[in-house]
Amino acid sequence: MKVPSSALKVTLAGCDMASPIVLAAGTCGYLDEMSVALDLSRIGAVTTKSITPLARDGNAPMRVFDVKGGMVNAVGLANMGVDRFLASKREAIATLPTTVIGSIAGFSVDDYVAVAGAFESIEGMPIVEMNVSCPNCDNGRLASSSVETLREHVAAVRSVLKTTKLFVKLPPNTDSLVHLAAGAIDAGADGLTFVNTLEVMSIDVRTRKSRLGRPRKGMSGPGIHPLAVRLVNDVSRHVARDAGIPIIGLGGVLDWRDAAEMILAGATAVGVGTGLFVDPSCPRRINKGLARWVRSQGCSSIGELVGAFEE
Ligand SMILES: Cc1cc2nc3c(=O)[nH]c(=O)nc-3n(C[C@H](O)[C@H](O)[C@H](O)COP(=O)(O)O)c2cc1C
What is the per-residue pLDDT for 54? Answer: 97
Measured in Å, residue 299 CA sits from the centre of ligand 1 at 32
Q: How far apart (Å, rounded) are the C-alpha atoms in residues 285 and 53?
A: 36
Which one from 15, 28, 134, 137 is the annotated catalytic residue? 134
How many other CB atoms sit within 10 Å of the CB of residue 305?
16
- The angle at the Cα of 21, spanning 143 to 126, to the nearest 5 degrees, equals 55
Cis ω on the peptide bond leading into residue 34 (within 30° of 0)?
A: no
Closest residue to atom 7 of ligand 1, CA basis: 26
Query: Are 161 and 185 in contact, with CB atoms under 8 Å apart?
Result: no
Residues in contact with 25: Cβ distance below 8 Å, sequence separation at least 6, in sequence order: 47, 48, 49, 50, 101, 103, 129, 131, 169, 273
Q: With a 6 A CB cut-off, is 98 part of the ligand 1 pocket?
A: no
Q: Who wins on pLDDT, 239 or 143?
A: 239
Q: How far is CA 165 from the centre of its chain?
A: 14
What is the per-residue pLDDT for 166? Answer: 98
Q: Distances in Å between the alpha carbon of 56 and those of 79, 81, 148, 256? A: 5, 7, 28, 35
For ligand 1, what atom is nearest to the CA of residue 133? 11
What is the per-residue pLDDT for 3? Answer: 44
**Domains, the chain:** 6-305 (3.20.20.70)
Q: With a 6 A CB cut-off, is 27 part of the ligand 1 pocket?
A: yes
1-47, pLDDT tens digit by residue?
Answer: 444 579 999 999 999 999 999 999 999 999 999 999 999 999 999 99
Q: With a 6 A CB cut-off, is 220 part of the ligand 1 pocket?
A: yes
Measured in Å, residue 50 CA sits from the centre of ligand 1 at 10
Identify the band that residue 141 occupies on the pLDDT scale cut at 50, 70 and 90. confident
For ligand 1, what atom is nearest to the CA of residue 253? 26
Coil, strand or helix at 299: coil
Q: Which residues of 163-187 are buried (b: 16+ CB within 10 A; e: fewer)?
A: ebbbbbbbbbbbeebbebbbbbbeb
Query: Are 166 and 128 in contact, with CB atoms under 8 Å apart?
Result: yes
Closest residue to atom 5 of ligand 1, CA basis: 26
146-170, pLDDT tens digit by residue?
Answer: 999 999 999 999 999 999 999 999 9
Widest CA span in the chain: 56
Burial class (CB in 10 A: 0-12, 13-18, 19+), 299: middle
Q: With a 6 A CB cut-off, is 214 part of the ligand 1 pocket?
A: no
Residue 269: strand pairing partners: 248
**Would residue 134 show up in a list of annotated catalytic residues for this protein?**
yes
Measured in Å, residue 97 CA sits from the centre of ligand 1 at 22
257-281, pLDDT tens digit by residue?
Answer: 999 999 999 999 999 999 999 999 9
Across 89-98, 139-148, 165-174, least confident range: 139-148
Residues in contact with 279: Cβ distance below 8 Å, sequence separation at least 6, in sequence order: 285
pTM: 0.97
The percent of residues above 70 in pLDDT, for the chain, comes to 99
What is the per-residue pLDDT for 1? Answer: 40
What is the per-residue pLDDT for 144? Answer: 83
Helix H or strand E encompassing 85:
helix 82-95
pLDDT at 138 over 90: no
Q: How far apart (Å, rounded) are the C-alpha atoms in residues 155 and 185?
A: 10
